[in-house]
Structure 1
Amino acid sequence: MHTNVDTLFDRLWDKYVAITPSAHKIHALLVGEENSDSIVNDHVAFRTFNLDKCRLDKLAAHFLALGYEAKGDYDFEAKKLTAKHFEHADLTKPKVFISELRVEELSEASQAIIHKLVEQMDESITTSETFLYSGPQWSLSKEDYDTLLNESEYAAWMAAWGFQANHFTVSVNHLSQTQSLVDVNKLLKEAGFVLNTSGGEIKGGEDVFLAQSSTMADKAGVEMNEETVQIPSCFYEFAQRYELPDGKLYQGFVAASADKIFESTNAK
C-alpha cells in the first residue's frame, strides 16, 4: 500500500486523465492552463462489487492506512448500492466515496457474469500499492458487457473499467470568490460540455449544505473479444459546500444527489 497520500492521489489522477482528457480542458477553462495546480479536489469516488475478494472494505483499507476515517453510510435502494465516505484528519486532503454493488440483488444471469469476472482476480492485488488504479482484473466479453448493461449501468461500468477513480471533483469553494456552481455550469455549457441533467443540472443546494453538478463521462476504448468498444469512461464533478449552523463547512454527502451523480457514466 502507499505510504504517502499525495503520491496515491497523483497516481489516481494519472490513470483518470488517461481516459478522461476533458479534465485538462476543464482546468484550463476554470483557472487557465498556467494555474491548473490551483484546482482543489473535493473528493474522489470508487466503485466495486460486494464479493469477498473486492468488497468495499478492501478499497477502504488503503485509505484507512493513510489516516482516513469512516464518516458516513449510504444506501441506494433502486441502484442496489451500499456506500461509505471517508475523511482525513487534514481536511485539505480529498474526501473519498466508495460504493459497492449488492450483487445478490441482481438477476441470476448478471450474478453469474460478475462471479465469473471476480473469480479471475488474484486476491493479492488488493493489498498491492497499485490496486486502486489497477483497472479490471479480468477479461470481459462484449456479450457479458451488454447483458450487464441491460440490467445495471453500474455493473457494466465496473466490469469494463475495474478499479480506478470514476471521478474527481472540483471544489467550487476554492475557485475565485466570484464563482458559484451556477457560474461554473454556465462556463462549461458555453464551452460545449454536456452536463448530467438527471435530477436537474444542480443536485442539492444550500438547504442540504451541498450543491453538486457533473459532466457526462468521456468515452474511451475497452478491449472486448479482441475488439475495441467505445464506452463511457469517467466524468468530472463540481461541488459547492455551505456552512453548517456552527460555522463549519459541511463535509458529508447527500444520498439523493449522489444517486443522480452515478448516472454521469450511463451509456444509455
Structure 2
Amino acid sequence: MHTERHELFSQLWEQYRSVTPSAERVHQLLAERESRPIVNDHIALRTFNLDPVGLDALAEPFLALGYQPGGEYHFEAKKLYARHYEHPDQDAPKVFISELLVEKFPEPIQATIRNLVSEVDPDRVRRSDFPYSGRPWQISHETYLMLAEVSEYASWLAAWGYRANHFTVSINHLDSIQSVVEMNQLLKDQGFTVNDSGGEVKGSPEDLLEQSSTMADRVPVAFSDREAVIPSCFYEFARRYPKADGQLYTGFVAASADKIFESTHERRG
C-alpha cells in the first residue's frame, strides 16, 4: 500500500512540475539548503460537483489507499465546497479536494460546464490514475475566457482538468527555515512572486496553521481553436502548530484557503 501511495504522488508530482517550472526551482533551492528530503504537507485537487466527476469520485483512489475524510469547508463567495483527507500514516501528504457548485451559476454557465463534463467517460473516472489524467474534454479559448469572467476556478479547471493544483512544502520539516515569513523572504529574494491576497501570510498561530504561496506560473495551453498562455499551478508553504493535546493540527482554515485559491488568478494591471 505504501508503494502504491508513493507511486500515485510521484505521478502527481511529475505531471505538476511539467507545467510549474517555478516549483522545480523552489524545490531545488530548498534541497540545496536542507540535509533531509523536502516533505509535502498536502496537495489540492479541483473538480465540478457533477456526475461522474464529483468530489467523491476524485477521492476514491485515495480512499482505496487508506485515506479517511477529515474536515469540510464552505466557500460561499467562490461557490465551492471542499473536504480534506488524511492518512493514518502521519508522514503521508494530506489531500484537499474542492468542487465547484455548478448550480449556483447562471444557466448559460451551467450549460457550458455540463457540456464539458458530458464528454467524460465514466470508466475513465473509476481508474486509479484519474487524479492526474489531465483534461478530459475539448474547450475553446473563447469558452475559457467566458468562464473566467464568472469564476477563475471554473476556467482553470476547464483548461487544465485533473492534476494537482499545488503541492505544499511542510515548513515544520525544514531545518533552514522556521517561519512562513522567512520562507516568503527567501522566495522574494530569489525573484519569485508571493501571493499577497489577504496578506502574504495567511492564517496565524491562533488558527494553528500559517500558509503562503507563489503565484501560478504562466504556460502555453492548447485550446481547440488556438494556443494561449494562462496561469498553471503554484507552490504552497505551510507551518502547522500543536493543538492542546500536543499533536500538530491537521486541518485547514477556510478563510486562508479562500485566498490561496487566488494564486491561480490572472494578474491584472
- What interval of TM-score do these two structures reach, taking the shorter chain for normalisation? over 0.9
1:147 matched to which residue of 2? 146
CA drift at 1:42: 0.1
2:7 matched to which residue of 1? 7
Are 1:95 and 2:94 matched, yes or no? yes
Are 1:112 and 2:111 matched, yes or no? yes
2:208 maps to a residue whose letter is F
Q: Is the 8 A contact 2:195 2:263 kept in 1?
A: yes
CA drift at 1:37: 7.0
Instruction: State which drifts further: 60-69 or 177-186.
Output: 177-186
2:155 matched to which residue of 1? 156
Instruction: State which drifts further: 124-133 or 8-17.
Output: 124-133
Deviations 1:44-92 (A, max 9, x none): 0000000011000001111110000001001000000000000000010
Q: Is the 8 A contact 2:171 2:177 kept in 1?
A: no
2:165 matched to which residue of 1? 166
CA drift at 1:119: 0.5
Question: Residue 43 of structure 1 aligns to a residue in which SS?
Answer: strand
Q: Distance in 2 between matches of 1:3 and 1:58?
A: 22
Q: Is the 8 A contact 1:208 1:254 kept in 2?
A: yes
TM-score (structure 2 length as normaliser): 0.96
Structure 2, gaps ≥5 residues long: none
Are 1:124 and 2:123 matched, yes or no? yes
CA drift at 1:267: 1.6
CA drift at 1:226: 3.7
2:39 matched to which residue of 1? 40
1:236 matched to which residue of 2? 235
1:146 maps to a residue whose letter is L
Q: Is the 8 A contact 1:44 1:94 kept in 2?
A: yes
Instruction: Give the percent of matched residue pairs that are identical in Structure 1 and Structure 2.
Output: 56
1:231 maps to a residue whose letter is I
1:218 matched to which residue of 2? 217
Q: Distance in 2 between matches of 1:114 and 1:164?
A: 18
Instruction: State which drifts further: 173-182 or 204-213.
Output: 173-182
2:229 maps to a residue whose letter is Q
Question: Residue 148 of structure 1 aligns to a residue in which SS?
Answer: helix
TM alignment of 1:44-59, pairs within 5 A: 44-59=43-58
* Residues 187 and 177 of structure 1, relative CA distance in 2, 3 Å threshold: closer
Question: Residue 179 of structure 1 aligns to a residue in which SS?
Answer: coil
Q: Distance in 1 between matches of 2:108 and 2:32?
A: 48
Q: Is the 8 A contact 2:217 2:233 kept in 1?
A: yes
Question: Residue 40 of structure 2 aligns to a residue in which SS?
Answer: coil
CA drift at 1:13: 0.2
CA drift at 1:179: 2.5
1:157 maps to a residue whose letter is W
2:181 maps to a residue whose letter is V
Q: Distance in 2 between matches of 1:239 and 1:201?
A: 12
TM-score (structure 1 length as normaliser): 0.96
Instruction: State which drifts further: 20-29 or 67-76.
Output: 20-29
CA drift at 1:107: 1.3
Q: Is the 8 A contact 1:136 1:162 kept in 2?
A: yes
TM alignment of 1:185-264, pairs within 5 A: 185-264=184-263
Deviations 1:161-181 (A, max 9, x none): 001110000000000165311
Q: Distance in 2 between matches of 1:128 and 1:27?
A: 29
* Residues 104 and 176 of structure 1, relative CA distance in 2, 3 Å threshold: same
Structure 1, gaps ≥5 residues long: none
Deviations 1:181-226 (A, max 9, x none): 1111100001110011001000001010000000000111111134
Q: Distance in 2 between matches of 1:267 and 1:243?
A: 35
Cα RMSD, aligned residues only: 1.7
Q: Distance in 1 between matches of 2:176 and 2:72?
A: 32
CA drift at 1:29: 1.9
Q: Distance in 1 between matches of 2:192 and 2:186?
A: 9
Matched residue count: 267
